[in-house]
Amino acid sequence: MSIKETTPDLRVQRTLQLIRDAVISLMDEQGFDRTTVRDITARAMINRATFYLHYEDKYDLLKKIIDGMLHELKQTMALPVSFSAEQFNMNAETPPESFVRQFEHLAANALFYKVMLGPNGAPGFAGRMEQVIQEALFERQTLAQPNEQQLSLPRELIIRYATSAHIGLMKHWLENNMPYSPHYMATQLKRLHLLGPTRLSLPLE
């Protein structure tokens, strides 16, 4: 394929990114309800015809952005198809690659997640993100211990607790402008999952 043949696709992708960046920045400033297609096209420096070539309206735009981003998040959390329980590393100082990928994904899309999880975010977004995380953790936990009878408490309580801790740490990191690296955050997340907050709060011996 020649450079000439790929150019239109690259231009389309750039245009779509400009539109997405525009609506997210406007939501951050004034909320989605007050944001119009005219605002979006002006911020993206495109004409309205170009906008409507790709989206039905601002609601269609927001839905496609959210669906795409949550799909990417889900992919970062996925385990390899051939992954088995024996491959789990119980070393608290060695984070799973999927944990690192999650924080790298958040860092690459920080404004999107800060806006969506903040007061000007889309209603229901936090719940959908939580569902993605919960399903991923359920898969990991079920693979690690498939026998319900071997669990110390009901699986649903384990997953509920782990999900809240998981997304809470992500939100805190974003709200504080990501002061630590993705690898550091992934390591601390694993430590919390394995050791729990009470044990980690005890004085070092």
List the structure tokens of 174.
């974003």
Task: Please check whether residues 27 and 44 belong to one and the same domain.
Answer: yes
Task: Please check whether residues 95 and 173 belong to one and the same domain.
Answer: yes
> Domain boundary at 55, 79, 96, which?
55
Output the DSSP codes for the chain.
--HHHHHHHHHHHHHHHHHHHHHHHHHHHH-STT--HHHHHHHHT--HHHHHHH-SSHHHHHHHHHHHHHHHHHHHHPPPTT--GGG----TTS--HHHHHHHHHHHHTHHHHHHHTSTTSPTTHHHHHHHHHHHHHHHHHHHH---GGG-SS-HHHHHHHHHHHHHHHHHHHHHTT--S-HHHHHHHHHHHHHHHHHHHHSPP-
pLDDT digits (tens, 9 = 90+) for 59-87: 999 999 999 999 999 999 887 766 655 55
Task: Please check whether residues 69 and 46 belong to one and the same domain.
Answer: no
Integer Cα distance of 177 and 166 in angstroms: 17
Residue pair 111/24 in contact (Cβ under 8 Å)? The answer is yes
Q: For the chain, how many structural domains are there in total?
A: 2
Task: Please check whether residues 146 and 182 belong to one and the same domain.
Answer: yes
Q: What is the pLDDT along the chain (205 residues), one digit of tens a residue?
A: 333 444 458 889 999 999 999 999 999 999 999 999 999 999 999 999 999 999 999 999 999 999 999 999 999 988 776 665 555 566 667 888 889 999 999 999 999 999 999 999 999 999 999 999 999 988 888 887 778 888 888 989 989 999 999 999 999 999 999 999 999 999 999 888 888 777 667 655 5
Q: List the domain range (segments joined by +) for residue 85.
A: 64-201
pLDDT digits (tens, 9 = 90+) for 42-65: 999 999 999 999 999 999 999 999
Answer yes or no: pTM beyond 0.95. no
Task: Please check whether residues 79 and 168 belong to one and the same domain.
Answer: yes
Give pairs for 83-90: CB < 8 Å, separation 24+.
83/143, 84/143, 85/143, 85/144, 85/145, 85/146, 88/143, 88/144, 90/194
- CATH assignment at residue 196: 1.10.357
Task: Please check whether residues 45 and 69 belong to one and the same domain.
Answer: no
Task: Please check whether residues 107 and 6 belong to one and the same domain.
Answer: no
Task: Please check whether residues 140 and 170 belong to one and the same domain.
Answer: yes
Task: Please check whether residues 88 and 115 belong to one and the same domain.
Answer: yes
- CATH assignment at residue 33: 1.10.10.60
pLDDT on residue 168: 93
Task: Please check whether residues 71 and 94 belong to one and the same domain.
Answer: yes
Task: Please check whether residues 176 and 78 belong to one and the same domain.
Answer: yes
Task: Please check whether residues 107 and 34 belong to one and the same domain.
Answer: no
